[in-house]
Amino acid sequence: MITKIFKNISEHKSEKIPAAALIISVASFLSFLLGLLRDRMLTSIFGAGNTLDVYYAAFRIPDFVAMVLMMGAISVAVIPIFTQNLVKNKEQAFFYFTNVLNLFLLSLTIVCVILFIFTAQLVFLIAPGFPFDKKEITIHLTRIMLLSPILMGVSNMISAILMVFKRFLVTSISPILYNFGSIIGILFFVPIMGISGLAWGVVLGAVMHLLIQLPALSKIGFSFKPAFNFLDKGFLLTLKLTIPRAIGLTATQINLIIITAIGSLLVAGSVTVFSLANDLAAPIIGLIAIPFATAVFPALSLAISKGDKTDFLQKFYSSFRQILFLIIPASGIAYILRAHLVRVVFGAGLFDWTATKLTAACFGIFMISLSAQGLIYLVSKTFYAIKNTWIPATVSLASIAVLPGLAYFFVHFLARQNGFSNFIFYVLRIDQTPSTPVLGLPLAISIDAIIQIILLLWFLKIKVKEIEFKNLFIFFGKVLFATIIATLLAYGIRQIFGGYLGSSTFLILFFQTAVVGISGLLIYLLTAYIMKIEEVKHLRNYIITQAGFLNPKK
């Protein structure tokens, strides 16, 4: 039976973009639930303090390697070139992939060995505010987790190819297993190995992420060949497209390292609070923006390869509207439920009320720019589809000049009593304490994201002159208005429930959060329907079709 299940997963194909996006969203939801369960277990056991500061800081170097050299850079270069080769000849496409996989795996291994040797020096740059013993533990965990980017790099390259063949189910399940590995580490490795068990759990998750995809890779006809041709035209073109993307991702990772470094200079627990708020915001982007951007990317690349500009534009417009339609109300409702969500997810054990309020405030700030962060994924993928990786890279590089200054400015001003800090504290319903300067970190990231999406859209219009944004901006205004109505009414419902039921137990808190969230969503959909926003009908028809009740009239 288990063999049959794995066979069905390996062979499952999603022919339509909405279906693929739904699979990715559902799987992402399960993955993020496990991720939040993992974080709840961590906060319950360790609290917002030194141990988790070390754990999150130790991720910076492995994440830097994975994101820059494989998970992001290679996948965006591989898909357009692979599809271009696939249109001509399948065997040629597979040779290209084998060669690229082998060469980058070799390069990645060499890089990780070098970083292993110089981990101590790098940790002193990443977390300058950590005391010596805290740095020593960070070094130890980082060296263990350097195994992860090698495994994840290979696995994410395989995911890129499987998505071209519409194998979205198996590629969506792999992140679930990754988080499951981390949970195994907390439950079984930590009692035996101590804090090192957290790092080995991450490595186990990476192994599982890779293994689940290998049967599907075999099913599409791929077989490994010992190809190492550095002069292959496809590989050289991949490098040409990868280098700008790698530069852009380097900028993004440098920004995160800078944020971590600034956080390490603040009071103990600041890195943890920021990381938890970021982890709590990530599922919204992961459930909405990333699935649509991921699902439409191969289709955009294929449309460009075939020279079908009309199909390209139609898919871009559709994905843009769908992301806005879902992510704006989600961020609005999440904002008014920020404290509830933090208490439901992290409020256990050693995670106290002060940490809860700070994390909720950071999370609320992230909600301001959630739509911008979500659209960055789609617009960047659109540039990659037209084989232009320099523009997103340049915009990311520009953020290096902006983000550190913003972070320093906001942290500095939030540490003092002034009009700006008083306004922020009033809006977020939080008192000024020695810990509140950490709010400057998500505030800087949010403003930086808004600047980035404005620049990306401007450059996209220059590169693809046929794109028209007027109707998209009008659509944005309609969705924003419907969201404001829904959020205000949901806030009223929240206040009524809070007055009658209180929030003394987990079950009551969870019930309130669910009722207010669902009510807010239903109010939004009703408002959008009255305003004749077409995406409401598309969503209804798609749900009905997938449920198998009937086929809506075209």
Packing angle of the helix pair 353-368, 419-428 (nearest 10 deg): 100
Give the separation between CA 190 and CA 52, rounded to whole angstroms.
13
Whole-number pLDDT of residue 544 = 53
Give the separation between CA 260 and CA 253, rounded to whole angstroms.
10
Count how many residues are written for the chain.
Answer: 554
Whole-number pLDDT of residue 5 = 56
Q: What angle do CA 468, 473, 476 make, to 5 degrees?
A: 140
Whole-number pLDDT of residue 146 = 94
Q: For residues 394 and 339, is the Cβ–Cβ distance under 8 A?
A: no
pLDDT per position as a tens digit, 240-264: 777 777 777 777 778 888 888 888 8
Whole-number pLDDT of residue 327 = 94
Give the separation between CA 195 and CA 198, rounded to whole angstroms.
6
Residue ranges for the chain with pLDDT beneath 70: 1-22, 24-25, 48, 69-76, 348-350, 498-504, 540-554
- 530 burial (CB, 10 Å; 0-12 / 13-18 / 19+) is exposed
Look up the pTM and report it. 0.72
Please state whether 269 falls in left (phi above 0), alpha (psi between -120 and 50) or beta: left
Whole-number pLDDT of residue 35 = 80
Whole-number pLDDT of residue 202 = 93
Sketch the domain layout of the chain as residue ranges.
14-467
DSSP state of 269: T
Which residues, 6 or more positions from 41, have their beta carbon under 8 angstroms from its beta carbon? 183, 186, 187
Whole-number pLDDT of residue 12 = 62
Q: For residues 373 and 399, is the Cβ–Cβ distance under 8 A?
A: no
Residue from 191, 187, 185 nearest 141 by CA: 185
